[in-house]
Structure 1
Amino acid sequence: MSRRMTRASLKAELRKNEDALSSPSVPAEPPPTASGLAGPAPLRLPDQTAWEQWLQRSHGESPGVWLQIAKKKAERPTVTYDEALDVALCFGWIDGQRKTSDAQHFIQRFTPRRRNSMWSRRNVGKVAALTAAGRMTPAGQAEVDAAGADGRWDRAYSSPSAMEVPADFEDALRGNAEAKRFFDALGRTQRYVFLWRIETTRRPETRKRKIGEFVDLLSQRKLLQ
């Protein structure tokens, strides 16, 4: 009985191995790197040219990459953030999340621009300069053309440091003293969440409704989630 059970177990194991070989393999979750990120280690590139060469090869296939960028007083320099962003825009990519790395570096995420993603006024200005310098690639220009065609280019939003309270929102706040006091006491980042939502709203009726909702929320001393 024990001998038959052993043979049966062996046959079952062989069948399982055959099924595994004949079935498409599912990649395992990549282990975290030393930076604490899953997947490939961040790229460390010495200069703008190296980043441009990498994107020339990979911009159409890669889902995104983390760049390790040296701080100003680092012993070994790398491509800078501003240089990396310029090149990314040329290829239709955009910057994303930033994380700490070590005493001399931070890591910055760069990915292909998502469909229908909004543009910042800062990047609109950068693209104008890159276009004048003849640096835009067909991939980058395609993203600009798409934004121009659907109106996103004209609706580009301001950065937190430059965004002002629009007149219609200011008027609504003046009509509710509690909401205005609470909003005026918020930090720049907390204020920006409200202002960005208003500035990037396309339809006038939706904008008016949102402003009313935001004033009501602020009057209750609540923030947007």
Structure 2
Amino acid sequence: MAIELAELIVRDAAAWRAWLATHHADPAGVWLVLAKKGTEKPTSLTYDQALEEALCHGWIDGQARRRDEATYRQRFTPRRRRSAWSKRNTGIAERLRAEGRMHPAGHAEVERAKADGRWDAAYAGSASIEVPPDLAEALAAEPKAQAMFETLNSQNRYAVLYRIATAKRPDTRARRIGQFVAMLARGETVHPQRPTSESEIGDD
């Protein structure tokens, strides 16, 4: 049974850092309350600040949820032992280390990732990730899947590319590509998506 995380509101980035210094070893994590743009109530902590402090303490962000008109909740948890790193976060972590801001827990996560290969295997973020040649070839061989892929919104496109990019073994990668091509050929998506037109993908 999944554990419902507690909600946490802190005043600012310094308060978030102080909380993490005390609680970074807690296994569950929290729903951190962040204010939307244009307001500093009940917190002035921004998402970027929250992420930096999380990385300093060996934590990572997760999904976001709406809370009310002025705030939302961002999930932060300790990084799991085999958790993949993004290229964006490796860059941030390197900067934080150079600035001397890393807590020992954050240093340990970086060194663990470098030792087991996850650091070098860091994946591109949604803004820069590209379609790899092996997926492009598989899509080209299945016109219905290719047509469906071209209609995907950014969330669904990244869901496919991320899962392929983070496959740890060649056979796992090949299997995922096959599964996604078959899924797309059936007109299905990872996340619900409104159709782009009234016509069905693949109709003659």
**TM-score greater than 0.5 by the shorter chain:** yes
Instruction: Assess if the C-alpha contact under 8 Å between 2:144 and 2:185 holds in 1.
Output: yes
Name which of 51, 58, 68 aligns with 2:16: 51
Corresponding residue of 1:202: 168
Q: Does 1 or 2 have the higher relative contact order (CA < 8 Å, sep 6+)?
A: 2
Structure 1 residues 222 and 44: CA distance shift in structure 2, 3 A: closer
Structure 1 residues 97 and 207: CA distance shift in structure 2, 3 A: closer
- Which consecutive residues of structure 1, in runs of 5 or more, have no partner in the other structure? 1-36
Percent identity (aligned): 47
| Aligned AA (1:73) | G
Structure 1 residues 145 and 39: CA distance shift in structure 2, 3 A: closer
Instruction: Assess if the C-alpha contact under 8 Å between 2:5 and 2:28 holds in 1.
Output: no
The farther-off stretch of 175-184 and 138-147 is 175-184
Considering fraction of residues, name the structure with more helix: 1
Structure 1 residues 210 and 69: CA distance shift in structure 2, 3 A: closer
Distance 1:87 1:171 in 2: 41
Corresponding residue of 1:175: 141
Q: Deviation of residue 215 (structure 1)?
A: 2.1
Aligned-residue RMSD, C-alpha: 2.0
TM-score, length-scaled by structure 1: 0.76
- Which consecutive residues of structure 2, in runs of 5 or more, have no partner in the other structure? 192-204
Name which of 103, 109, 126 aligns with 1:160: 126
Distance 1:176 1:155 in 2: 29
| Aligned AA (1:72) | K
Which one has a bigger Cα radius of gyration?
1
Q: Deviation of residue 223 (structure 1)?
A: 2.9
Name which of 64, 76, 82 aligns with 1:110: 76
Instruction: Assess if the C-alpha contact under 8 Å between 1:176 and 1:215 holds in 2.
Output: yes
Distance 1:208 1:62 in 2: 34
Q: How does 1:5-84 map to 2 (within 5 A)?
A: 40=6, 42-61=7-26, 63-74=28-39, 76=41, 77-84=43-50
- Tell me the SS of whatever aligns to 1:102: coil
For residues 101-150 of structure 1, give each alpha carbon's deviation from its aligned partner in whole angstroms, at most 9, with x where no partner exists.
Answer: 22221121211111211111111111011111111111001111111111
Q: Deviation of residue 87 (structure 1)?
A: 0.5
TM-score, length-scaled by structure 2: 0.83
- Tell me the SS of whatever aligns to 2:129: coil
Corresponding residue of 2:202: none
Instruction: Assess if the C-alpha contact under 8 Å between 1:44 and 1:78 holds in 2.
Output: no
After the TM superposition, which parts of structure 1 deviate over 3 Å for at least 4 consecutive aligned residues? 37-40
Q: How does 1:85-164 map to 2 (within 5 A)?
A: 85-164=51-130
